Structure 1
Amino acid sequence: MCELTVSLICRFISESPVIAKIQYWMKITFVFILILFIDSVNRVWRVQVELAMATEKQNNAAVMGHERLEVQARKFYSQRNMYLCGFTLFLSLILNRTYVMILEVMRLEDRVKAYEGTRKDAKESEKLAMSGKPGEIARLRAEVEHKDQDLKNLKKQSEQLHKAWDELSEKYSKATGLPAGDKKAD
């Protein structure tokens, strides 16, 4: 029961147009985050260059305190944004790959179930023999023998009924003087 529910949910997820639209919008979001990541890398680079230029202008003199703090704050914010965008990109790639792998596993499981279903009848007797249940096998053999005996009894009854019908039809034709109509068909 649980496997059936999971199978239905997975089939819904893999074939649903709503999920396809969500996946489409996730790809657009991924591209947007990629652009933000590239922008944040560019900002980090610009802040690094600005810090290097400010240090060169002053040569050996110390950069004024408030200017240095401002540059370091911008460097911190740009690095933070770059890390956040990078981790978001990485996690979205992992989620996408996981989704694709789960769909592939579900499709392969469906194929395996289909193959096992077609081969199930042929292998059923082998499974019983391998399961180590001789009592079950003996019971099934006795059941088959009983059904064979029933079939033989039905054939005998059919033959006897046919003979009785032939005898009655001959008696009827003699008594009424009409020819027996179905004699040639037999």
Structure 2
Amino acid sequence: MTIYYTTTFFILVIEMIVFCILVLPLPSRWRRALFKFASTSPLVGKALNTLRIIFGFIFVLFIDAVNRLQRIEEGEENHNHDYGYEVGLKARKFYAQRNLYLTGFTLFLSLILERTSSLIIQMLKREEELEYAKEEHVSTTQDQERLENMEATYKNKIAALKLEVDELRKQEKDMENLKKQVEQQSEEYSQLVNRHEALQQRAKESKKDI
């Protein structure tokens, strides 16, 4: 196997390992930390750009393997039952098919990895949004409970103040009644004083006449 097909095989093995890591039932915290590191690390970004270039070369190898396989199949139709030539042709066909499957599976798995990673990233974003919505709901519920408690407290205070106002109104009425009684008694006292003075004046006049 030539060096570029050996490299393609190692890339395929790495893709299989990465795919197994992606589908492992890891905790959300670990998965989120892993994808955060992969999305923010400059080394990972450079590695992905390099892999895109390598996948371009692998695609060229895939096209070359398809062309070779077609030429070999055409050669099978035109051979003259030369067993040595036929054995060599079968070997070339085997290597061409191997290279075709190797490059094809590598490209196909790269597409699957890209789609799987994008789906996992979307899933993690939805989980974060769900957690944020739950926190917002909890805080909103707490705020609502606090407002309800404050409203109940204010209602109790208002009821107590209304009772105090009613008591003050009753006291005010009692004070008005008491004031009226005092005024009446004061008028009666004034009348009694006037009568007493009049009687004293009459008594003095009667003494003078005697």
Fold shared by both chains (TM-score > 0.5): yes
How many Å apart are 1:115 and its aligned residue? 2.5
Tell me the equivalent position of 2:103: 85
Structure 1 or 2: larger helix share?
A: 2
CA RMSD in angstroms, aligned pairs only: 2.9
The alignment of Structure 1 onto Structure 2 pairs a total of residues equal to: 124
Counterpart Cα distance in 2 of 1:7 and 1:70: 53
Task: Please give the alpha-carbon distance, in whole angstroms, between the structure 1 residues aligned to 2:86 and 2:32.
Answer: 60
Where does the alignment leave 5 or more consecutive residues of structure 1 unmatched? 129-143, 153-186
In structure 1, what is the Cα distance between the partners aligned to 2:52 and 2:142? 47
Q: In structure 1, give the amino acid aligned to 2:89.
A: V
1:34 counterpart residue number = 59
In structure 2, stretches of 5+ residues that fail to align are 1-26, 158-210
1:100 to partner: Cα distance: 1.3
1:23 is the counterpart of 2:41: no
Q: Considering only CA atoms, is the larger Rg found in Structure 1 or Structure 2? A: 2
> C-alpha distance in 1, partners of 2:92/2:135?
64
Tell me the percent identity: 34
Distance 1:20 1:46, change over 3 A: same
Q: CA deviation at 1:82?
A: 0.7
Amino acid of the structure 2 residue aligned with 1:50: G
1:108 corresponding residue in structure 2: 126
- Verify the 8 A CA contact 1:10 1:106 in the aligned structure 2: no
Off by >6 Å, runs of 4+ in structure 1: none
Q: 1:2-30: per-residue Cα shift (whole Å, max 9, x none)? A: 75554333322223222222221222222
Query: What is the match of residue 92 of structure 2?
Result: 74
Residue pair 1:47, 1:75 contacting (<8 A) in 2 also: yes
> Structure 1, residues 51-89: CA drift from partner, whole Å, max 9, x if none?
2122xxx4xxxx121111111111111111111111111
